[in-house]
Amino acid sequence: MILTVTLNTALDVTYRVPRLLPHASHRVAGVTERPGGKGLNVARVLAALGHEVTATGFAGGPVGALVRESLERSPGVADALVPCAGATRRTLAVVDAASGDTTQFNEPGPLITAAEWAAFLARYEELVRTARAVALCGSLPPGVPVGAYAVLVRAARAAGVPVLLDTSGEALRRGVAARPEIIKPNAAELAELTGSRDPLPATRDARRRGAHAVVTSLGPDGLLAVTAEGSWRAAPPRVLAGNPTGAGDSAVAGLLSGLAEGLDWPDRLARAVALSAATVLAPAAGEFDPRTYEEVRGSVKVTAGRAG
């Protein structure tokens, strides 16, 4: 089983408006809701790829109940979420029909108590024992110690289970020092971690901070990987226009499933880029189109570089 951790689960709400005008009143033309938090997105993609997946993290309040109901309807994802007294958050994406641009609002999430954090840790340590790989994804809700991911990375490593960490800011900085197998920053997260906006040196710098492998997302240009086995760039066959929501989570699912299946790095990267592309091109945000995935997978261009 692959374990995904989403400490700050969410209900991802999308509003479509004709045009976003600050300080005006908008009649929302369309509303869609979807359980989210990066780890749950990763779990769904892993399940669609045929993996057995267990999802843990926190869920509470009416929004938490909705998230759990929807997990029940997700084939292949086992619900191991830990209850919390606070209410699971919503995130809101306001899509401007005129420009296609998205304005994002992320609620902070529930306040997690020390007892809830301890209950989660106990559950995690139990789950990690039977996991083949672990994904630690997204932001930390209030109350969770900022070093949380370092603790979770170490517990997985102690159990001999490889960990992929996908977060940002101080949570990433602390987590990377605990030596996860893979981190997958985007350009902004990498720049915040290393102080450099030049992808190759910054990716190498991030690796020196402790990660065994760093896979940097270059947005529409694909992925840049610096690992112990070598470094690669993997790019989609052409620039793909669409909705990038969830593309990073699909890349995480591709990397993690490739790791669990023992694929070599070029194949893992090709899978990750193809899944991202199939997510960008899917009609619904955060879904991926299996046919596009199969089509693109064979034509991802993976180029070896100098070892990282």
Strands 223-227 and 230-235: antiparallel
In this chain, which stretch among 88-96, 150-158, 269-277, 295-303 interacts with its own copies, using CB under 8 A?
A: 88-96
Measured from the CB of residue 70, what is the shortest distance to its own copies in angstroms? 12
Letters for 96-135 (x = contact with its own copies by CB under 8 A, - = none) are x--x-xxxxxxxx---------------------------
Q: Which is nearer to its own copies, 168 or 196 (CB)?
A: 168
Measured from the CB of residue 21, what is the shortest distance to its own copies in angstroms? 8
In this chain, which stretch among 2-10, 42-50, 87-95, 281-289 interacts with its own copies, using CB under 8 A?
A: 87-95
32 near its own copies, judged by CB under 8 A: no
Question: Residue 13 and residue 8: Cα distance in Å, rounded?
Answer: 15
Selection from 277, 276, 259 nearest residue 268 by Cα: 259
Helix orientation angle between 247-260 and 265-280, rounded to the nearest 10 degrees: 150
Measured from the CB of residue 107, what is the shortest distance to its own copies in angstroms? 5
Strands 102-106 and 89-96: antiparallel
Selection from 221, 252, 22 nearest residue 135 by Cα: 252
Q: Which is nearer to its own copies, 51 or 89 (CB)?
A: 89
Q: Which of residues 7-26 bind its own copies (CB under 8 A)?
A: 15, 17, 20-26
What single-letter DSSP state applies at residue 277? H
Question: Residue 125 and residue 263: Cα distance in Å, rounded?
Answer: 26
In this chain, which stretch among 28-36, 39-47, 48-56, 151-159 interacts with its own copies, using CB under 8 A?
A: 28-36
Q: Which is nearer to its own copies, 25 or 75 (CB)?
A: 25
Q: Which is nearer to its own copies, 25 or 195 (CB)?
A: 25
- Neighbouring CB atoms inside 10 A of 219's CB total 14
Listed in sequence order, the residues at least 6 apart from 14 whose beta carbon sits closer than 8 Å to its beta carbon are: 30, 31, 32, 33, 34, 92, 93, 94, 95, 285
28 near its own copies, judged by CB under 8 A: yes
Q: Quick one: which H or E segment has residue 49?
A: none
Measured from the CB of residue 17, what is the shortest distance to its own copies in angstroms? 7
What region does 191 belong to: left with phi over 0, alpha with psi -120 to 50, or beta?
alpha
192 near its own copies, judged by CB under 8 A: no
Measured from the CB of residue 169, what is the shortest distance to its own copies in angstroms? 10
Tell me which residues are annotated as active site: 249
Q: What string of DSSP letters covers 90-126?
A: EEEEEEETTT--EEEEE---PPPPHHHHHHHHHHHHH
Q: Which is nearer to its own copies, 89 or 271 (CB)?
A: 89
Q: How far is CA 189 from CA 165, 232, 238, in A?
A: 12, 20, 25
Question: Residue 196 and residue 29: Cα distance in Å, rounded?
Answer: 41
Q: Which is nearer to its own copies, 73 or 306 (CB)?
A: 73
191 near its own copies, judged by CB under 8 A: no
62 near its own copies, judged by CB under 8 A: yes
Interface with its own copies: number of residues (CB under 8 A) = 29
Q: Are 151 and 158 in contact (CB under 8 A)?
A: no
Q: Which is nearer to its own copies, 190 or 273 (CB)?
A: 190
Query: Which residue in the set 3, 6, 27, 295 belongs to the binding site for its own copies (CB under 8 A)?
Result: 27
**Which residues of this chain interact with its own copies, rule CB under 8 A?**
15, 17, 20-29, 31, 62, 65-66, 89, 92, 94, 96, 99, 101-108
